[in-house]
Amino acid sequence: MENLYIEGTHGTYFVPTVDFNANSGRCEISGESYLENTRKFYEPLLQWIETFVEEESKPIYFNIKLTYFNTSSSRALLDMLNLLKEYEDRGGQVRVNWYHNVDDDDMIEEIEDYILDTGLDIKMKPM
């Protein structure tokens, strides 16, 4: 299985940096996510996670360091977290850390909603 790396960009739209490492199981998405075609961008990420949990069967450590994401990105993030929860429910080891600004109450509320929606034990970490 290959690693997945996408360099983030800022312009009219904001593309997050993605660094998914198949060897270590460490995955990170960072920056801002405001895309023209969110589904097209996130589909390979979802496929990578699906393949990883099916083929590798080892722990996955998922770090989210997004300072902003739009509504369509929010849905894609939920889809990724649901895949991780399914893996955890099948006995896989999953750790999710979500880094956020201490004073970003909206982000903290979003993270709490993801915890409720997915049932994952998402660790909130100030950055």
Identify the CATH number of the domain in which residue 109 sits: 3.30.750
Return the pLDDT at 33.
95
- Cβ distance 33 to 70 under 8 Å? yes
Return the pLDDT at 88.
97
Return the pLDDT at 36.
86
Instruction: Compute the distance between CA of residue 94 and CA of residue 49 in angstroms, rounded to an integer.
Output: 12
Please give the residue range of the domain that contains residue 104. Answer: 4-126
Closest CA to 66 of 16, 20, 105: 16
**Predicted TM-score of the model (pTM):** 0.94
Return the pLDDT at 121.
96
C-alpha to C-alpha distances, 104 to 68, 78, 84, 110, nearest whole angstrom: 10, 20, 25, 10
Residues of the chain with pLDDT under 70: none
Q: Total structural domains in the chain?
A: 1
Return the pLDDT at 44.
97
